[in-house]
Chains A and B, each alone.
Chain A
């Protein structure tokens, strides 16, 4: 699980070194079938760069939006995404799983 998430940290650190503002999103809990396990990371930069993933692509957009807020405010957030199958076309997990994501600024 930590096998590839650490490379995201290195990428994020690289962006910071280039003077970018960066936020990290980490899957902290999952229920049911969710594509990425706890510990999976997505790095987001203020300029819109993305590295890694917290889902199969379904919630990355919403997480990136929240990350921009966290970069501006400095306040971490816990985001919950959970949808029933019929709601799957909204922002959420198409597979019907639930996932909790922690978003923090690299400061």
Chain B
């Protein structure tokens, strides 16, 4: 890999731009798509690779080409700068998540408690609208306070977020479902909310709850059966 390609790849990564590294395996010739022009079959493969987040192998003009997608990091948005959030953050980072913590309560969302993490102090609906969750985003609400959790869930349910989890007991969740139903969300949309949040590992401590949540996020992302377990039916 030429230094020039590496530098541009790193720059795209820093700018959070999706980019595909396309390599001719016979001689190591490389280009970056979409920055560089490429013949149509390679462009198609690059589009697919980025959309599926899966590398592609292509034969073109008698040579084998490798198309390697480099998508921006997955995002984890945590609503509620609480103790569980503090435990969750350092588990999510090595798994490839760029973490943002949202909490208008400045006493909670401090750089002291969340060193190096993007903190947003706006009200949760404004914050979520700004963050615009997409299909590579997971959202977890942890405040236990409907005034903060509900607006964040409302925005998340209107987004393509691949994971939406909400801390709270079944009873809490039933009340939450009733409130969100009043906001116009149907049963199918509400079924997207994982609550009680996290895989059932009988978690007790903040760290264990953090582990159960991030494990569930990974299970959903990877399409594991664990990520689809039946929960007690929710009713409004």
Contacts and interface: CB of A to CB of B under 8 A. Distances in A.
A102 B53 contact: no
Interface stretch (B34-42, B63-71, B119-127): B63-71
B144 interface: no
Contact of B23 (A2, A9, A37, A102): A102
Contacts, number: 66
Nearest to B18: A2
Interface of A: 1-4, 6, 9-10, 12-13, 16, 24, 26, 28-29, 37-39, 76, 78, 102, 104-107
Contact of B68 (A2, A3, A12, A78): A2
B135 to A, nearest CB: 15
A58 to B, nearest CB: 21
- Which applies to chain B's interface (DSSP): helix, strand, loop or mixed? mixed
A28 B53 contact: no
A52 to B, nearest CB: 13
B90 interface: no
Contacts of B13: 6, 9
B28 A3 contact: no
B235 to A, nearest CB: 37
A11 B1 CA distance: 14
A86 to B, nearest CB: 28
B73 A107 contact: no
